Chains A and B, each alone.
Chain A
């Protein structure tokens, strides 16, 4: 007997940083049921977990510790459940950050978060934070990764919406999902290592291209959920 495929139930981690409603709306548009929560059991029972966030790295880690969310998030990562970091959320995956001092991150991905230092464009210095649209591109040696990733439906070179002053530098270059350029700085704008997926931009605000990422994520999450049920 085949079971009727179930709707994906995802948790959006609420640690009092940032506007989570846009992420929730984007999930709803592709048929995912998304709950904004800081409850351990809800996170534990979800089919996938979104870690959004805007703001400062130090504050974010402080809030995660205060709400006792560090261990549950590490557990999500360790058990192979899809964990999606958006913007600051992806930066928190790193081992450490140099944003306003030195901070320890969730340490799910070896590497660090570093600031844009005087990025220069053709007409001089660029403002930091970068606020606005920028393009994402595959890496020369890893177009295969793009094809099998949440970016599969996205045309390389598509515009995405960014708001950030810092970017991630994973120690393993192979996990870059895409690269982008702000002035003369080329940086990692997305990453994937097994069940860990990160976007420096906001797919939920990035027009049709961003909506395609959510659509693919929903597909991946449902597939994993229903595939898992059969075993």
Chain B
């Protein structure tokens, strides 16, 4: 159970932990979130500003109409992708993929990753399956996926993490290069829907620039919900 969340700025936006979660007895996925969420609020906002400037031109995908639900193999593949995503983001699968999901951003993301990095992504899913067979502990699985001894898988995992949180795509090689050189990695906005669905906003109880689902006047009220109401399954105590 998350008791509180505070957002801190850090000297190095690429390596500092943004969210300081006060966790009493919650699932280990929350710890993964704490350990792997490597972006500051300031960095997120500055990226969002850049995204606004490039949103129209930055779209990488056409809408994907194929539905995984119609094909058992595709459905299993989607489930594995969501399992990986839950481990990496700390956000419940039911939140990443609601039972009724008209926006269906998960299909956009799965298609993108599959097309961009088919071989490494297969290896990532394989590692996820192997790790889960050994232990269901999300912390252990997360450590395996982010194991630096296999950098291609590690940085693809980080790209997936950033994709869910920021709605943008970072090439894994760019992330790796940025870490070693201190440069700013390039990114592309995945789609207009991805821009609005970036999880950083709900985690921060905020909204992307130029788009809000909240009612008029929300800006002079306290945030209307707790963090766990956004990232844990509905009804979680």
* A and B held together in a complex: no
Interface of A toward B, CB cutoff 8 Å: none
